[in-house]
Amino acid sequence: MNSTIWYIGDPLCSWCWGFSPQFEQLMDALKGEAQLRIRMGGLRPGTREVMDERLKSFLSHHWHEVHHRSGQPFSFDIMKRDDFVYDTEPPCRAVIVMRHLQPAKEWAFFKAIQYAFYAQNKDTNQTATYLPLVEELGVDWETFREKFESDTFKKKSWQEFAEVAELGIRGFPSVLLQTSGRVHPITLGYMQASLMLERARAFMNKTVS
């Protein structure tokens, strides 16, 4: 495969959750033609304050919008909590750990975290939240936990956020196509799979001809 699809997102980005089915259709259509590489952008990393009513209202509005457009399931029970910190660094770090342990399972794990948070409102700040997700993928829990809680992988997540920022990518999800030594933007934000595929094929065919 001479082409690479780069996906830049965050498990706690609601539009990334809404976009997941469309992105999967794209990758299915490009199976055998392009490999997938995922990078964590860090939507709200390092937040320490609990969600206040203003943030809850903001998020609730966006979640309803994403649900309406994508049909993806959402639970709003988390809005009733007064102690949840909307820090996206831990779930991003979890994905990076999975990439280190089992690269082929990274996308499946990313989706599992999305579902756990948006459909089930699991607390992604708690290490134990990842236990059933890790075991479902057949990955050793103690190995995962050790790396997830290590300073090494906490640093890796911030390094990855910085690398994405240096590329000028500020919004998620972002999809890029790397082919024949060049990088082309496919989408910044939600887009139907058919349109993304049309763009990707145009770039891929252009480099071949």
CATH number at residue 137: 3.40.30.10
Percent of the chain with pLDDT over 70: 98
CA dihedral 18, 45, 159, 121 (to 10 degrees): -50
Return d(Cα 38, Cα 180) in angstroms, integer.
19
Is the pLDDT at 192 greater than 90? The verdict is: yes
Tell me: pLDDT of 127 over 60.
Answer: yes
| pLDDT above 90 (res 151) | yes
Range(s) of the domain holding residue 17: 3-208
Q: pLDDT grade, residue 152 (50/70/90)?
A: very high
Backbone torsion region of residue 34, taken as left when φ is above 0, otherwise alpha when ψ lies between -120 and 50, otherwise beta: beta
> Amino acid identity of 18?
G
pLDDT digits (tens, 9 = 90+) for 93-121: 999 999 999 999 999 999 999 999 999 99
Q: What does the pLDDT average to over 177-190?
A: 94
| Listed residue (12, 174, 26) closest to 78, CA to CA | 12
The amino acid present at 63, given as its one-letter code, is W
Task: Give me 73's structure tokens.
Answer: 């399931």
Q: Is the pLDDT of residue 1 over 80?
A: no
CB half-sphere exposure, 184, CA atoms < 13 A = 19
Chain position carrying tokens 């990518």 = 169
Q: What angle do CA 78, 38, 174 make, to 5 degrees?
A: 75
Q: What is the pLDDT of residues 19-75, one digit of tens each?
A: 999 999 999 999 999 999 999 999 999 999 999 999 999 999 999 999 999 999 999
Q: What is the pLDDT of residue 180?
A: 86
Q: Hey, what are 12's tokens?
A: 């706690």
CA distance 31 to 169: 25
C-alpha to C-alpha distance for 200 and 8, rounded to whole angstroms: 16
Residue 129 pLDDT > 90, yes or no? yes
Q: If pLDDT is split at 50, 70 and 90, which confidence band does 209 have?
A: very low
Number of domains in the chain: 1
In 24-157, the DSSP E strands lie at: 34-40
What's the burial of 67, exposed, middle or buried (CB within 10 Å: 0-12/13-18/19+)? middle
- What's the pLDDT score for residue 207? 58
Single pTM value for the model: 0.95
Mean model confidence pLDDT for the chain:
96
